[in-house]
Amino acid sequence: MLKLTVLSTKGGVGKTTLTANLGALLADLGLRVLMIDADVQPSLSKYYPIPRGLQRAGLTQVILRGEVGVEAITPTLFNNLDLVVSDDPEGRLPAWLLTRIDRGFRLRAALSAPAITRSYDCVLIDTQGAVGPLQDAAALAADVLVSPITPEILSAREFRDGTMELLDRLQPGAHVGAALGTLKALVYRQDRTTDARLIATQLREDFGSLGGRVSLLDTVVPYAKAYKEAATARMPVHRHERQRAGRMPSAYLVMHRLAWELVPRIAGAYAGPGMRGEGGR
């Protein structure tokens, strides 16, 4: 089972959109996916429709108990795609975690239970764009960390500074037994005014100072209105925009490339028309 956390020390960079779209595509490609909304503002929890009456317990129970009980899992309207909702509007969980010596591994341990590893092929965790104990727990729970970097972040060099701090804080040793997964940077919401070569050059410079602890994904997610439209329609973007005219690749293609890069064993597989999951359960 692959555990992947989407994180960034900055807010509003596209983490939730990315988590939701990647989760739904992997589910359409036949993987059994569990998304976890680890942001106290429950955007991922509301992203896709949930069958009426099926909202259950959520993240609070997972963190407090240190396990993902059946009642903490909410099915979405799409096949193969389940969700642990964020149910902590007052933001008590981070403070509670701070009182726990095992705060770094609590989520990791919960996701390592056989009931979860047998039931899912992939867990995707969405986080809040800030620094805190919940983000640390989500980062330490993952094998792979994906960090969307937008052109604004690049210009401010926030990625290097924020990421460096995160890596330093969470390196093995700080949390015995919990090694940090590999960090992959994703150029995200790239617009036509940003020069791809300049981005690559700057990232390479920044990565130099990060000591080889970060790699850059080949896939670039462009700025496109399809991502917003799909979110408004509460639809996965690969279903919303299957084709487009012009030079920019369709969201269908971009999301597939990203999914293949992150999960190489499904490379080359496409979510077809009349996809599994159409109609849902």
Ligand X SMILES: Nc1ncnc2c1ncn2[C@@H]1O[C@H](COP(=O)(O)OP(=O)(O)OP(=O)(O)O)[C@@H](O)[C@H]1O
Q: Where are the beta strands (DSSP E) in 128-269?
A: 144-149, 182-190, 214-216, 221-222
Which position's Cβ is nearest Mg ion? 16
Find which of Mg ion, ligand X, none residue 94 binds, CB within 5 to 8 Å per kind: none
- Helix (H) / strand (E) containing 59: helix 59-65
Find which of ligand X, Mg ion, none residue 250 binds, CB within 5 to 8 Å per kind: none
Which chain residues interact with Mg ion by CB under 5 A?
Answer: 15-16, 43
Q: Is 274 exposed, middle or buried (0-12, 13-18, 19+ CB in 10 A)?
A: exposed
Rounded to the nearest 10 degrees, how much is the dihedral formed by the CA atoms of 261, 262, 267, 272? -110
By the rule CB under 6 A, 39 interacts with ligand X: yes
Q: Segment contacting ligand X (CB under 6 A): 6-14, 27-35, 81-89, 167-175?
A: 6-14
Q: Segment contacting ligand X (CB under 6 A): 70-78, 95-103, 220-228, 263-271?
A: 220-228
**Scanning residues 126 to 185, which ones bind ligand X (CB under 6 A)?**
128-129
By the rule CB under 6 A, 35 interacts with ligand X: no
By the rule CB under 6 A, 91 interacts with ligand X: no
Q: What share of the chain is helix, strand, coil (3-state, %, to 5)?
A: 40, 15, 40
For residues 200 and 206, the answer to whether their CB atoms sit within 8 Å is no
By the rule CB under 6 A, 22 interacts with ligand X: no
By the rule CB under 6 A, 238 interacts with ligand X: no
Distance between terminal CA atoms of the chain? 23
Residues that bind ligand X (CB under 6 A): 11-17, 39, 43, 128-129, 189, 221, 223-224, 227-228, 231
